[in-house]
Amino acid sequence: MTAARVKSRPDLRRERRQRAHGCWNHLIIAPLWPKHGVNLGTMLRTCDAVGACMAVPRKPWIPDALAHGNTLRKPQCVHWINGRVDRWLARQRAGGSAIVGVELTDESIRLADLPTARRRTVIVLGHESTGIPPEGLALLDVAVEIPMVGTGHSLNVAVAGSLVLYKLAGLC
Ligand SMILES: C[S@@+](CC[C@H](N)C(=O)[O-])C[C@H]1O[C@@H](n2cnc3c(N)ncnc32)[C@H](O)[C@@H]1O
């Protein structure tokens, strides 16, 4: 790698696809029970990188958290959920979307076995302390677990969501 050169911003801009419209609507990451705004901002940046949208409940603190966390300073695709998030999730499922939960469960498949998304897919993330609640687990088509070998119980939710987004997008 002695001749390697870090790509410049104009290089990177030329490599990227241009978004045709405001919303990709193929992969939707859904932190439905969020606790920390900083995680939402991190996930929003991954959404831009892989061409995904985010769905979040319309809680008073969330618009500010997203505006603060949107370090790209460009409009991002956010679906606002009014009312109960489990009902929203049930509607997505009834409408034909695949529902993938990112969670450590006794029925989870490993991240390596998760195929690239071939249809509209909602990726459900759990609460930072308590995970995906039972009413959310009941609506999943599949749960995916990111294997860990360290001593911690779990990953940061934004890291877990980003890894799954990359796998579903077929970019890694
Ligand atoms: C910090 S974890 C939840 C806390 C967890 N129940 C515990 O006891 O440590 C927050 C969320 O991140 C995601 N998550 C973290 N690590 C994960 C892993 N290794 N595999 C799949 N999901 C993970 C899940 O969506 C989870 O609900």
Query: What is the reported pLDDT for 19?
Result: 56
**65 strand-pairing partners:** none
CA distance 76 to 54: 9
CATH topology classification for 22-169: Alpha/beta knot (3.40.1280)
- Quick check: CB of 86 below 6 Å from ligand 1? no
Amino acid occupying residue 63: P
Report CA-CA distances (Å) from 129 to 12, 50, 69, 106, 163. 37, 26, 21, 18, 19
Residue 117 CA, chain-centre distance (Å), reads 13
* Maximum mean pLDDT: which of 20-29, 57-66, 113-122: 113-122
Average pLDDT over residues 47-54: 92
Mean pLDDT of the chain: 92
Name the residue among 91, 84, 45, 97 with its Cα closest to residue 66: 45
Give the Å distance between the CA of 104 and the centre of ligand 1.
6
Q: Which residue's C-alpha comes closest to atom 19 of ligand 1?
A: 146
pLDDT exceeds cutoff 80 at 75: no
Where in the chain are the domains?
22-169
